[in-house]
Structure 1
């Protein structure tokens, strides 16, 4: 009698490119609440101490990329996984660098929470009949002012939209004025709640927003604040219908499908 091996576990590495263990723990709690396939194994990684504890601007993005890329490639640990999620809500160059190194011809599926959130939002937007009501929109609430331009440009680039044209499905980006580290003990929770609620309310005022993306991995678990703002702005019926996108969760779902697609459609 012979037996044939048909399937194995999918191993996903969630990479926190900053050096905050508290932020990694917050993402772990969000992942633990997800309904994933029983054959999916999730592992987390926190960047070495040389990486910024909070990624707040373009310099922090580049620095974190250099530190983490060097650490991951020198250690060889990526060979143990089927997929990698870069858990920094930015146009993070680590996504492209890892994809170039391992993704195009290798088995490793790679995405970032930013990219996964865009795809999740676009898939969830309803399409009303033409010429009846304004198009449904999605948008991002984020931390500091720097990210408003950075993320808007990133969305346009990812979707291939000319920045001089109007993207009638993307409402825009609204910032709280906080840093990522503020969400893990750096600021009074009451202040966090108020600033996040204000940013969400401004975003919801930019059109019929159907999806709100939490534009920082450190916001994991704060969906209730955004939901309250949506109910206050739109009323209970419409407010409860708004999708609130956690990029880490979006990335998990996307990577599971990417791994399956690589296995099903790659030339053997």
Structure 2
């Protein structure tokens, strides 16, 4: 049996979707289709307000096109607690996974990871993603889980520019500063790449910073989603 997965880019920038098609490899018995939000959705999701606008465009579009019925699982490729994850869950009981949640699952379940932090695109995301970690872990006192994570750090690079080769030196310099200055004594051995626009940067950064895992959120997302679909089919 072949399981059909819809890879959802909830912004209207086809450039982001095109990059995903280049770097993603289909797991065994899984077939990908790629979706880009309509042009009425934001071109770039920069925080809470654009996330809401994105969801308000994408959910009715998915429903009206019958895409919810056509697929066995859905990967939401915005690194956040995107509202589409929750609203889509109200219209289907099929597996849905956000790429942020996929990386947090990976880091929390891997015994070799001592401490992680999220590397995101722009600084505006830092408090939102830190709160996303708190909410995901389920801390009743709203305290940041500092035993497993350091606070999120932004690159100050636009989502739409992250995959541009000419931006890599800026990205390298920022990561070097974080790992070897700001978080020098934190025991970091894993960096969660907190943006779908970073897809493919994991390989470059792993070569540049030995001993550190760089986790591509979309790559780990498709693998975990495939496992959830298979489990869902056989329970």
TM superposition score normalised by structure 1: 0.80
* 1:10-29 equivalences in 2 (<5 Å): 10-29=3-22
Deviation at 1:112, TM superposition (A): 0.6
| CA-atom RMSD in angstroms | 2.2
Is the partner of 1:172 in helix, strand or coil? Answer: coil
Matches of 1:65 and 1:202 in 2, distance apart? 38
Query: C-alpha deviations, 1:160-184, integer Å up to 9, x for none?
Result: 1232365301122111112211224
Which residue in the other structure is 1:178 paired with? 157
SS in structure 2 at match of 1:100: coil
Moved over 4 A (4+): 184-189, 199-204
Counterpart of 1:153 in structure 2 is: 131
* CA distance in structure 1 between the aligned counterparts of 2:183 and 2:99, rounded to whole angstroms: 22
Query: Larger Rg: 1 or 2?
Result: 1
- How far does residue 14 in structure 1 lie from its aligned partner after superposition? 0.3
SS at match of 1:212: strand
2:130–2:144: 8 Å Cα contact kept in structure 1? no
d(CA) in 2 for partners of 1:179 and 1:77? 30
User: 1:131 maps to which residue?
Assistant: none
Residue 88 of structure 2: aligned partner: 98
5+ long unaligned stretches in structure 1: 1-7, 128-135, 232-238
1:261–1:29 distance in 2 versus 1, CA, 3 Å? same
Match of 1:85 in 2: 75
Is 1:214 paired with 2:193? yes
Residue 260 in structure 1 maps to residue 233 in structure 2: no
Alpha-carbon spacing, 1:262–1:224, altered in 2? closer, same or farther (3 Å): closer
Q: TM-score, normalised by structure 2?
A: 0.91
User: Within 5 A, what are the aligned runs for 1:14-53?
Assistant: 14-32=7-25, 36-37=27-28, 39-53=29-43
